């Protein structure tokens, strides 16, 4: 049965199988969050490849007593038509206490997986088409109002035009703007243009992610392909600080549980499935004591830049390269 995204809340409690497909990763992410929001501690994420290679283990874990209870949720990511037989088998078993969410990319009309969900009234099919600029503009306006950030509709349009109809891209951009706007009463068009310029090549997040996994080659590529301004440096440092705090929280949890997969699966808010592997790598390279030191250094460097604005680009790039070049922080 095909439904609109806004209908999820009405049917999620009575439905057991969900298929989300399409290019709009941001909308799919929001839909999944809506489906799972009452059971965030009971999520089990799988990749399609993992299930296909270990089918028996997947069924054993899914239907065992430890999982087969209390409204557990199974999320199958990067799914395609290859998963069809396994989905059909799960449906035949008439599972009562588990929800299955299938997260797919583009599925053509002739797709057997898509057809299965569209034609069965007990299965929920949710297509996620690209958002219109009007929709993205409305989302951005609501966000900025909530954050008490004064920004013109013209500048919102500049941000939206960089997002290619995907609210995941929009969320990245407006969070970037929000971090830069901290302490400012309003933002100028010139500032917005500088902020969204990076989205043509790499995002600030990608620069920091590669720093935290110590991929110096990729960092050099990003630095060489982007013409950073002085204003960019504050945004980069604040983006770095946000990510470092998230890694610290996960690192402390990992030290308690000593179970990497459990730490990733129980993260709040949930880690987007595309980011899980890179976060695992970051955790393998940064222990809590070292990430605490990094957070202190980030705050110190921002203060240095604010006091002496002569060489912010040099200070920031040298710091990033230093972190990516240092030995493993174990």
Closest CA to 43 of 266, 261, 277, 260: 266
Query: So what's the pLDDT on residue 70?
Result: 63
Residue 91 has pLDDT above 80, yes or no: yes
CATH class of 209-325: mainly alpha
Query: So what's the pLDDT on residue 41?
Result: 60
- pLDDT 10s digits, 253-264: 999 999 998 898
- Between 67 and 62, the more confident residue is 62
Query: So what's the pLDDT on residue 290?
Result: 93
Residue 266 has pLDDT above 80, yes or no: yes
CATH class of 5-127: alpha beta
Residues 6+ apart with CB under 8 A from 52: 82, 83, 86
- Between 127 and 329, the more confident residue is 127
Domain ranges of the chain: 5-127, 133-200, 209-325
- Between 315 and 64, the more confident residue is 315
CATH class of 133-200: mainly alpha
Pairwise CA distance, residues 58 & 79, whole Å: 15
- Report the share of the chain in percent with pLDDT over 90: 35
Closest CA to 10 of 29, 27, 35, 30: 35
Residue 66 has pLDDT above 70, yes or no: no
Residue 68 has pLDDT above 60, yes or no: no
Band of residue 67 on the pLDDT scale cut at 50, 70, 90: very low
Residue 96 has pLDDT above 60, yes or no: yes
- pLDDT 10s digits, 189-238: 777 776 775 444 456 778 899 999 999 888 888 887 776 777 778 878 88
Q: What is the CA radius of gyration of the chain?
A: 22
Query: So what's the pLDDT on residue 69?
Result: 56
Question: What angle do helix axes 312-325 and 216-225 make, rounded to 10 degrees?
Answer: 160
């Amino acid at each position: 049965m095909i439904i609109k995204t806004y209908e999820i809340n009405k049917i999620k409690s009575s439905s057991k199988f969900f298929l989300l497909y399409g290019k709009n990763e941001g909308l799919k992410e929001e839909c999944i969050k809506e489906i799972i929001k009452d059971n965030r501690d009971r999520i089990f994420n799988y990749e399609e490849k993992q299930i296909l290679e270990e089918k028996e283990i997947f069924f054993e874990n899914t239907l065992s007593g430890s999982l087969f209870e209390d409204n557990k949720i199974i999320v199958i990511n990067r799914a395609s038509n290859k998963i069809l037989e396994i989905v059909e088998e799960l449906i035949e078993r008439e599972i009562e206490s588990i929800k299955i969410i299938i997260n797919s990319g583009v599925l053509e009309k002739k797709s057997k997986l898509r057809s299965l969900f569209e034609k069965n009234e007990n299965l929920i099919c949710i297509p996620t088409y690209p958002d219109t600029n009007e929709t993205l503009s409305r989302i951005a306006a609501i966000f900025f109002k909530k954050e008490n950030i004064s920004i013109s509709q013209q500048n919102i349009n500049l941000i939206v035009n960089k997002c290619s109809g995907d609210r995941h891209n929009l969320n990245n951009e407006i969070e970037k703007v929000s971090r830069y706007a901290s302490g400012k009463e309003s933002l100028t068009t010139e500032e917005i243009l500088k902020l969204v310029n990076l989205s043509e090549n790499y995002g600030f997040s990608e620069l920091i992610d590669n720093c935290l996994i110590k991929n110096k080659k990729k960092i050099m590529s990003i630095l060489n392909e982007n013409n950073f301004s002085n204003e960019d440096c504050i945004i980069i440092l604040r983006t770095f600080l946000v990510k470092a705090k998230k890694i610290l929280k996960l690192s402390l949890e990992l030290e308690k549980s000593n179970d990497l997969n459990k730490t990733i699966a129980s993260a709040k808010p949930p880690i987007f499935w595309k980011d899980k592997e890179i976060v695992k790598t970051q955790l393998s390279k940064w222990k809590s004591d070292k990430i605490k030191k990094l957070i202190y250094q980030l705050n110190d460097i921002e203060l240095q830049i604010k006091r002496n604005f002569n060489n912010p680009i040099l200070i920031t790039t040298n710091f990033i390269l230093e972190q990516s070049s240092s030995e493993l922080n174990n």
